[in-house]
């Protein structure tokens, strides 16, 4: 039974983080200063990169065909991350324009080791965004939030050595996040 639940959790997470969204949602945010935006940014998915710190920051709206309430997803994700051995801590957070969610701090191994493990983080995902020439342990922050029935993922990945300073640098960006869909904000 636990393996079935774990499989559902992993598929749900991958779908939320990396599937394109067909919903008419909108992410409004003040971009982080001195970060390079992805040229494919759109109102549903936004990525930024900071080359000198080897960090990635993203905000992604989940697909419309995946509607799970946050109060169910939040604790299940915490258990899944704990089972994977990558969960450092989890808490509930309020941020931006009336946003509430679950925040997970994750200890990740180096990109090359992650690519060769059985975790749910697989090649072809966020690993492709990390600097392959800088193969050191990373730390991640994932915030799962729900707005008007839509799930959003906010992700920060940075080498462990500078994670805290990078997180402090983007706090104002996180506090500027406004999420909405076609029915309003």
Domain spans in the chain, listed from the N-terminal domain onward = 2-180
Print pLDDT tens along the chain (185 aa).
444 454 455 445 545 444 444 444 578 889 888 899 988 888 888 889 998 888 889 998 877 666 677 888 888 888 888 888 889 999 999 998 889 999 999 988 766 665 555 444 444 455 555 555 666 788 989 999 988 878 888 999 899 999 999 999 999 999 999 887 644 43
Average pLDDT, the chain: 76
How far, rounded to the nearest angstrom, does the alpha carbon of residue 110 sit from its chain's CA centroid? 18
Distance CA 125, CA 172 (A): 26
Q: What is the pLDDT of residue 80?
A: 87
Distance CA 94, CA 175 (A): 9
Beta carbons of 134 and 54 less than 8 angstroms apart: yes
Q: What is the pLDDT of residue 7?
A: 42
Output the pTM of the full model.
0.77
Residue-wise pLDDT tens digits, 110-135: 666 655 554 444 444 555 555 556 66
Distance CA 135, CA 109 (A): 9
Residues in contact with 37: Cβ distance below 8 Å, sequence separation at least 6, in sequence order: 31, 46, 47, 48
Distance CA 141, CA 16 (A): 15
Q: What is the pLDDT of residue 172?
A: 93
The CATH number of 2-180 is 3.40.1000.10
Three-state secondary structure call for residue 34: coil
């Amino acid at each position: 039974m636990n393996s079935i639940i774990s499989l559902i959790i992993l598929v749900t997470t991958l779908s939320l983080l990396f599937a394109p969204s067909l919903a008419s949602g909108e992410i409004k945010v003040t971009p982080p200063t001195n970060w390079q935006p992805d040229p494919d940014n759109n109102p549903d998915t936004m990525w930024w990169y900071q080359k000198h710190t080897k960090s990635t920051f993203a905000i992604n709206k989940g697909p419309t065909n995946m509607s799970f309430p946050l109060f169910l997803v939040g604790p299940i994700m915490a258990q899944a991350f704990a089972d994977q051995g990558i969960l450092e801590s989890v808490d509930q957070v309020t941020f931006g324009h009336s946003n509430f969610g679950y925040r997970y701090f994750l200890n990740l191994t180096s990109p090359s080791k992650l690519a060769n493990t059985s975790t749910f983080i697989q090649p072809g995902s966020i690993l492709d965004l990390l600097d392959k020439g800088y193969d050191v342990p990373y730390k991640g922050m994932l915030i799962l939030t729900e707005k008007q029935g839509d799930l959003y993922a906010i992700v920060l990945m940075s080498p462990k050595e500078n994670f805290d300073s990078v997180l402090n640098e983007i706090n104002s960006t996180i506090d500027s996040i406004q999420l909405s869909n076609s029915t309003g904000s």
